Amino acid sequence: MLKDINIVLGVTGGIAAYKACDVVSRFKKLGANIDVIMTKSATEMVNPHTFQVLSQNPVIVDTFTTPRYWDIEHISLAQKADVLLIAPATANIIGKVANGIADDMLSTTIMASTSKIIFAPAMNTKMYDNKIVQQNIEKLISLGYKFINPSSGRLACGDVGKGKLADVDNIVEVVKNIIKPNSDLEGKKILITAGPTRESIDPVRFITNHSSGKMGYSLAKAAFERGADVTLVSGPTQLSSPKGVKLINVNTTLEMYDAVMSNYKEQDIIIKSAAVSDYRPEIVSTNKIKKSDGNLNLTLVRNPDILKELGILKENRILIGFAAESQDVIQNAKSKISRKNLDFIVANNIKEEGAGFGSDTNIVQIINKNGEIEKIAKSNKIEIANRILDKVNEFFK
């Protein structure tokens, strides 16, 4: 299923435009939201009303009559799209994009988009084989654009050769794999904790740490993309909720404890990447603490160790902890595996450049119960998250 996925379909003016109707209805049946942009020449082939009925969304037709409207609309569609599919894609649209021309709704949307862009070309064989078209395709591929090769056969113009729009089945499959490259966690329930906790001292101050939430949010995003049903319990962060994820916001360790404990039972996998405060002030002053000449002593009391408690209640669940260490990384991480009854732990040395708190990257060592260590060199947190989920998936094989 493609629930919560937004596809923007650009239809350009080839005879194969009628096949795009089938593409729309297939994605609708898979649960995706689909917005259609038609070039002016595409409307000569298929009536926009057909796409409107099939997509159940207004169709954007490029008539150049409402430039103010499309000027705003192309940005919002470009941002909204998880994937932008151009099917059929004529030599004209391929040429425009390859050469940085943005002069209508579709080409401006493509240009403004940072999502995955896929072209499914369809045109006359000789046009397709034309060196300029091939160079444009090569250029776009080298820039990261994806292509679904046309198939061979008898074309509408009577020629026989390559240039037929790829089978709709093939187009749908390629797009599905690009959106959800791996659905190995389909049907699995996963709870992830992320971010810091905040322990109030008074209405003004609190004790916290440097966690940005990026590691945990990357895990949540990657797990959702791999088909899992994701619950994310998050301390305060600046991040927006990953799509498709059930987000539970908390502040304190006790709130995180409650949220985890009321959700752990139905989970298959629990990953605790949050940086949790082990202590909280014994007394939270109701008023701002005023300074005086002497020192101020705060008494801190122990917070519950959420991961340790989960280790006791573990049963068949897969339980993964993180270890944020600044010394004796392996030794400290290994002792947490046994103390907290974990399947494995992800250790990061927070003193290393590009690892741990705040950065977009991490450098980790995954240590299992047998003490085996897998090192993952500096990579972005999404990549690290996927490597952790690969390990999780091995438990189900």
Query: What is the amino acid identity at position 192?
Result: I
Sites for ligand PMT among residues 175-194 (CB under 6 A): 193
269 binds ligand PMT (CB under 6 A): no
Enumerate residues 6+ apart whose C-beta is below 8 A from 344: 320, 337, 366, 367, 368, 369, 391
**Using the rule CB under 6 A, is 136 a contact of ligand PMT?**
no
Q: State the Cα torsion 340-346-352-354 to the nearest 10°.
A: -140
CB of 329 to ligand PMT, least distance (A): 10
How many angstroms separate the Cα of 142 from the Cα of each of 92, 107, 165, 316?
Answer: 19, 19, 22, 46
Name the residue nearer to ligand PMT (CB basis): 43 or 273. 273
Q: Which of 157, 283, 289, 373 is catalytic?
A: 157
Binding mask 331-370 for ligand PMT (x = CB under 6 A): -----x-----------x-------xxx------------
Write out the H or E segment, with its range, that includes residue 90.
none
The H or E element that residue 219 is part of is: helix 214-225
Asked if 93 is part of the footprint of ligand PMT (rule: CB under 6 A), the reply reads no
* C-alpha to C-alpha distances, 88 to 33, 122, 150, 329, nearest whole angstrom: 19, 5, 10, 54
Does 215 bind ligand PMT (CB under 6 A)? Our answer is yes
Sign of the Cα torsion 77, 79, 84, 89 reads positive
- Interface residue with ligand PMT among 7, 91, 269, 324 (CB under 6 A) is 324
**Quick one: which segment of 52-60, 81-89, 184-192, 273-281 binds ligand PMT (CB under 6 A)?**
273-281
Q: What is 331-366 written as a DSSP string?
A: HHHHHHHHHTT-SEEEEEETTSTT-SSS-SEEEEEE
Q: How far is the CB of 92 from ligand PMT (least distance, A)?
A: 44
Is 157 an annotated catalytic residue? yes
With the C-alpha atoms ordered 172, 61, 147, 90, is the resulting torsion angle positive or negative?
positive
Could you report how far apart the first and last alpha carbons of the chain are, in Å? 23
Q: By CB under 6 A, is residue 272 in contact with ligand PMT?
A: yes
Which is closer to ligand PMT, CB of 93 or CB of 270?
270
**Contact status: 212 vs ligand PMT (CB under 6 A):** yes
Q: Cα dist. 322→192, 270, 280, 336 in Å?
A: 11, 11, 21, 9
Q: Does 273 bind ligand PMT (CB under 6 A)?
A: yes
User: Strand pairing partners for 380?
Assistant: 361
Q: Which stretch binds ligand PMT (CB under 6 A): 37-45, 169-177, 205-213, 292-300?
A: 205-213
Contact residue for ligand PMT among 90, 107, 108, 253 (CB under 6 A):
253
> Toward ligand PMT, which CB reaches closer, 148 or 191?
191
Q: Which residues bind ligand PMT (CB under 6 A)?
A: 193, 195, 211-215, 253, 272-276, 278, 303, 305-307, 321-324, 336, 348, 356-358
Catalytic residue numbers, as ranges: 157
